Amino acid sequence: MTARDPRHANALVYDHPLVQHKLSHLRDRKTKHADFRRLLNELAGLMAYEVCRALPTREISIETPVARANGRVLATPVTIVPILRAGLGMTDGLLGLFPEARVGHIGIYRDEATATPITYYAKFPDGIADGPAILVDPMLATGGSAAHAVDILQARGVRDIQLVCLVAAPEGLIHMHAHHPEVMVHTAAIDDRLNEHCYIVPGLGDAGDRIFGTH
């Protein structure tokens, strides 16, 4: 089950009971990193069905063991693009649903003096512009990195981009709408706000550290 948030035209919130159940365990500070990784991938897989709802298909003719039949397959290649490093934690969950998808990577850090997003790594499959891209990052905080990642993809000719995150801050959704109103943000929750350190409140902490067991 999904619902458009009346406050944010670019947000689609996933209120499915299983999504909310797993998100609650992700938020829990007592959840260990191995369980955090598992839950993150399970959530990404659950959300993937709705994310992929509008993917274009084409009709093909196939031979079943009984008779000839018409079927439908994806019409264009799909590329999953995690924002490093935390986005890696959602990638396997999406690939579990459609392993034929390609994977690109974008690495971004924020300049502490200017708060400007800086790209340190970007690698994509050939022909990425031939189909849609699903951008993934567990957290949408300020929205700076996500908007910058969309800029990078659009500069390579990608026109159909969706962003999948688990938790979004209102500030991040506002920033994304101001810079890329055409990009739909799929999220399991819209939280209250950002704190003075730009952490989402209540959030779930540093997703990268919780995925990989670092500090």
* Cis peptide bond prior to 29, omega within 30° of 0: no
Residue 198 DSSP symbol: S
2 counts as catalytic: no
Query: CA 210, CA 37: separation in Å to the nearest integer?
Result: 8
Stated as kind and residue range, the H or E segment containing 175 is: helix 170-179
Query: CA 42, CA 45: separation in Å to the nearest integer?
Result: 5
Query: CA 34, CA 183: separation in Å to the nearest integer?
Result: 31
209 counts as catalytic: yes
Contacts of 155 (CB under 8 A, 6+ apart): none
Helix (H, G, I), strand (E, B) or coil at 144: helix
206 counts as catalytic: yes
110 counts as catalytic: yes
Helix (H, G, I), strand (E, B) or coil at 105: strand
Pairing of strands 68-74, 57-63: antiparallel
* Cis peptide bond prior to 202, omega within 30° of 0: yes
Q: Which of 110, 126, 137, 151 is catalytic?
A: 110
Q: Which of 114, 126, 151, 214 is catalytic?
A: 114
So which residues are the catalytic ones?
110, 114, 206, 209
